[in-house]
Amino acid sequence: MKHVDSDMVVETVRETIAVLRESQEAIREGRTAIHEARVELEARYERRKRQVEDIERAIELLRANGPDTDLQRLVTMLSLDRTSGNDVANGEHEPDSHRLLSARSTTAPLSHRDSSE
């Protein structure tokens, strides 16, 4: 049996403890990053969900109150935004439903406007 120097054992234990502490810190940082990413993903999902709801409401309004040309304009706007890569959630432009409704309120003939506008 070899003689083991107690100083070497103590140093090995200290190094092991240091590595374990670093590992624990890395695990905490990883968990924090995962949590932050999850929160951001949930927020992005909610923004997209609201955008879809806004667009669906705009389509319903157009079908109820506007001529087919307004609906075609909406479809065209949505197609352009989808291919342009703009991100409403990142503030690159205002939501399509807001643009559409503001454009409709200024461009639609009076005979097609809703009396509540």
Encode pLDDT of 64-93 as tens digits.
776 667 667 777 777 666 555 555 444 544
For the entire predicted model, the pTM comes to 0.46
Tens digit of pLDDT per residue, the chain (117 long)? 466 789 999 999 999 999 999 999 999 999 999 999 999 999 999 999 999 998 888 878 877 776 667 667 777 777 666 555 555 444 544 444 455 555 444 444 444 444 444
Q: Which of 43, 108, 104, 90 is nearest to 81 (CA)?
A: 90
Domain boundaries, the chain: 6-112
